[in-house]
Amino acid sequence: MLGKERKIPKVNPRVISSLCLDKNTSFTALQIRQRDKWIYIRGKKVSQPASQHVGSHSSMKGSHFFLCLFSVVCWLNLMLANGNRIFRFGPCRISMSVNEIRSGFTAIKANIQARDPIRTVSILSHPHSLHKTKSSDKCCIIHHLFNFYMDRVFKHCTTEDSYINRKISSIANSFLSIKRKLVQCHNQNNCKCGQESMEKFKQIVTNYEGLNVTSAAIKSLGELDILLDWMEKSR
């Protein structure tokens, strides 16, 4: 005696291509043409519409995953293309493109340094060196240095050459973007400078104030590569 027959789903007569008797079984097999796939009902493997929906749903999930993965890869490639790197200043980790700043500075370095008539004085490297700053103090001192360049250097570095001015403006905008990240990290971590680091920064300010504002600003800008070299060692 045959077991209980499975219920045959309703089929649109227009999609029925044939109705035949399966020779190998006592069941009938109904072949339905649907989206270029044969669906076998009774006696054969059945491809139910429900299973098609499940497969479609899984396919959509997979598509979303690969789209998300593709977006992440594109974002990482964009960061690399822009030269973005993660720099560590004490507890602060900042993503920035030092290469972009250095490229802009290199384009005007010779011109800026030629405008500096005083070669016996240094703003950033005399008498102390930034490279001897303790790792724990870097979060604090980089915060002060960026404020120094934004408040005392870029504002007073205007020349008669529009090309030079555009490059300076571009560097200043990059500094401003990084400064915002530093301020946020500085506030979150409550960064504090040790006595030695504060003495170094005070010496930088003293060196700057020993010259007139324009000369001091031009000299500080001409020494920007000293600051960039120090920053790149914080990677």
Structure tokens at 128: 């102390």
d(CA 229, CA 111): 20
Confidence (pLDDT) at 125: 85
Taken as a whole, the chain contains a residue count of 235
Sorted by sequence, the CB contacts under 8 Å of residue 100 that are 6+ apart come out as 82, 83, 174
With beta carbons less than 8 A apart as the criterion, state whether 159 and 99 touch: no
Indicate the domain borders of the chain: 13-48, 86-232
CATH of domain 86-232: 1.20.1250.10
Residues 136-175: tens digit of each pLDDT: 888 889 999 999 999 999 999 999 999 999 999 999 999 9
Tell me the average pLDDT of the chain: 75
Confidence (pLDDT) at 179: 93
Confidence (pLDDT) at 167: 97
Residues 179-204: tens digit of each pLDDT: 999 988 888 887 888 888 899 999 99
Phi, psi of 183 (to 5 degrees): -60, -45
To the question of pTM greater than 0.75 for the whole model, the response is no
d(CA 233, CA 133): 11
Confidence (pLDDT) at 68: 54
pLDDT under 50: residue ranges of the chain = 1-3, 8, 11-51, 53-54, 72-82
Confidence (pLDDT) at 62: 60
